Copies of this chain bind each other. A is one copy, B any other.
Amino acid sequence: MNYYPDPILKLINSLSTLPGIGKKTAERLALHILHAPDTQAATLAADIIELKTSVKLCRVCFALSDKNICKICSDPSRDQSLVCVVENPTDMAAIEKSNAFTGTYHILGGTLSPIDGICPNDIRIDELFKRTDQGKIKEVILATRTNVEGEATASYILEKLKHKKIKITRIASGIPMGGDLQYIDQLTMQKAMEKRYGF
């Protein structure tokens, strides 16, 4: 691609580091940006910088947020006594897309995995227990994935919480075992929410 001047080559290289963007797509995007209005390119660049500087984690549920408390935790129309425990923000997004849940979340930031050396202290399990200790939470829905680590994490949390006066439920099966929450269709997700069962 040496027939392009260096600034184009540099942008092509930067764009190719993104997932699913090969050299050819990167070339097309770079040429599009080159011919796009200056403001569009400036906005794109500014948005990338803003994303990296202003997105933090909600202090309550650890979801991605640009404020100290995220939209969902500060929304009075959401049921604050109902907490859905998920592994990461992508899984939370998948549940939100289904419109099947009106409570709040707790994002663990991973799953227990002794084989990878990930212990309860490495993910936000203690923070969940602190939330349940405050006495406002009536139900905890365990929506970790249905693979080994997700099930183990759900079992661990159940074990620690079952002596408390909190209803603990697991997102219903219907989700294929080993399946990734972000690729589940909405109907399955709604069904899984609706059919959650007690231990």
Contact = CB atoms under 8 A, between A and B. Distances in A.
B49 A41 contact: yes
A100 interface: no
A8 B57 CA distance: 13
Interface residues of A, number: 58
A33 interface: yes
Contacts of A66: 5-7
Nearest to A13: B47
A46 B15 CA distance: 12
A14 interface: yes
Interface in A56-75: 63-67, 70-72
B47 A7 contact: yes
A1 B94 CA distance: 10
A123 interface: no
Contacts of A63: 3
A47 B97 CA distance: 34
Contacts of A188: none
A8 B50 CA distance: 9
A67 B5 contact: yes
Interface of A: 1-8, 10-11, 13-15, 17-21, 25, 27-34, 36, 38, 40-52, 54-55, 63-67, 70-72, 89-90, 92-93, 96-97
